Amino acid sequence: MEALYDGARTGGGTAAEAGAQATDAAEPAAGDAIAQARDDAEPRAVAAVDPHSVTKPCPDCGSTVPVDPLYVDWCAACGWNVDPADGQRDESAPGRIEALRRRLAHDYGEELFREPLPGDGSGARPGRGRDATLALLIASAVHALTLALAVGGLLLVVLGWSTVVQPVVGVVVLAVAYVLRPRVARLPKDVPLLHRADAPRLFGLIDEVAEVVGTRSVDVVVVEARANASVTTYGLKQRRMLTLGLALWESATPQQRIALLGHELGHYANGDTRSSIVFVNALRSLSTWLTMLDRTDEPDLFEMAANALTFLPRKAALGLLVVLDQLTLRSSQRAEYLADVFAARAGSGAAAAELMDLLLMAEVADGEVQRAAVRAQSAKLGGRRRERAVPDGDEDLWARVADRMLAVPDREYQRLRRLAELRGHSADSTHPPTHLRRRRLVEGEQFPARVVRDAAECAALAEELAPARAEWQRRVERGY
């Protein structure tokens, strides 16, 4: 399940986070204007505001700044207002550990940027090396403790049966071991799932990308709404599950989608430690320990004693969590750069770089979906009914999201890239900064697309996603 928080987090969370805040001011206006435009008879004509028709002088350097009512005004010459939220953001200080984590993550991202990566994805895999081995050893030790508790509990019950106390303690210990046990992720319920038979063309495309990447294809595709994508495994047989978020998928060009698939499948090929079942379960087990050992605030005498007693184990569990995280932080960032190489090999370097731009805007796509939800809800509350019959497709939420993304001018992308650089932005600390990922793709070895799809094939593939698209639109309009 949490094997590989990726893509959208990558992407979505990625630059999106920065973009989100930055575009907050401009967003509602933009959304409303486009919504309005679509409601009008000739949507395109209304939406097509020439961004260069109005200009103003930059207040800092006097250069000419184009004014586009839908987007933030900023100066390319001196960088004025690249970050309109600058100074207003809530800079609540992160904890000591989180601050260290962020600093390290930032340093790793920069350091790895300079490290050459094999263009064919060969060479040292993120899942190998001293740190990875140590991380897996610690993770195994965590599970060994769980096993020891289970065995100890059982012995107490069996051997101490004649005493009253020992079996009672034994049962408690067994219960603790049960809570700590490693478990396998399951397929999510209540979301649209696509199996091979439901979507032969989509799976055909994924198979082809998997072959380029050099890994096994996926067993199921989960469709969700968010501008996100990720891969993980489920079940005892470790079947593979790819999650595609419609807000991202529908906004991407066919070639960018292939690059996205290349990135995600690249994670399987990488063998990232953080996604291994041993590691994921060790993190879960340690978090459970922390919850069980949590200290009581404003304790009475008895609780004070308990707090003192749990002090060392609590610190040990926390320490192990931090160590496991640190040991894998660098390799997970490396895994992202490597997955980007696979994205380029499958969909072309250009498409992979464009995908980074799309990730910068992921929050905009998510915002559009949320606005649709709010609109639908307020229409329901207001008791309003759409009187006119709307031609099919015009009301397609996902087409609207894609249009919204298409309408974003190049200048806004430029601003978001600069903003990402300014803020050192990345999805989270397991991801390298988005602007560095993009630069690697633009400046590094260039790959032609190994997988391509023409318009007709894309249309046929889209048909397979139609039920999931409709289902998610219904859910969004019901307020999720």
* Six-digit token string for 348: 């072309």
In this complex, which beta carbon is closest to Zn ion, that of residue 73 or of residue 336? 336
Nearest CA-CA partner of 22 in 443, 355, 363, 375: 363
Regarding 67 and contact with Zn ion (CB under 5 A), the answer is: no
In sequence order, the β-bridge partners of residue 56 are 65
Near Zn ion by CB under 5 A, which window of 70-78, 107-115, 361-369, 468-476? 70-78
In this complex, which beta carbon is closest to Zn ion, that of residue 268 or of residue 289? 268
Residue 5: CB minimum distance to Zn ion, A: 9
List binders of Zn ion among 9-28 (CB under 5 A): 10
Regarding 78 and contact with Zn ion (CB under 5 A), the answer is: yes
In this complex, which beta carbon is closest to Zn ion, that of residue 274 or of residue 400? 274
Residue 29: CB minimum distance to Zn ion, A: 23
Near Zn ion by CB under 5 A, which window of 35-43, 78-86, 123-131, 250-258? 78-86
User: In terms of residues, how long is the chain?
Assistant: 480
Phi/psi at 21 (nearest 5 deg)? Answer: -60, -40
Q: Are 53 and 4 in contact (CB under 8 A)?
A: no
Sheet holding 220-224, edge to edge: 193-194, 220-224, 239-245, 229-234
Regarding 428 and contact with Zn ion (CB under 5 A), the answer is: no
Near Zn ion by CB under 5 A, which window of 43-51, 74-82, 208-216, 318-326? 74-82
Residue 464: CB minimum distance to Zn ion, A: 24
d(CA 175, CA 181): 10
Residue 231: CB minimum distance to Zn ion, A: 8
Q: Which of 6, 224, 363, 368 touches Zn ion by CB under 5 A?
A: 6
List binders of Zn ion among 25-64 (CB under 5 A): 58, 60-61, 63
Residue 457: CB minimum distance to Zn ion, A: 26
Residue 126: CB minimum distance to Zn ion, A: 11
In this complex, which beta carbon is closest to Zn ion, that of residue 81 or of residue 307? 81
In this complex, which beta carbon is closest to Zn ion, that of residue 181 or of residue 418? 418
Residue 15: CB minimum distance to Zn ion, A: 14
List binders of Zn ion among 318-357 (CB under 5 A): 336, 339
Residue 148: CB minimum distance to Zn ion, A: 36
What residues line the site for Zn ion (CB under 5 A)? 6, 10, 58, 60-61, 63, 75, 77-78, 80, 336, 339
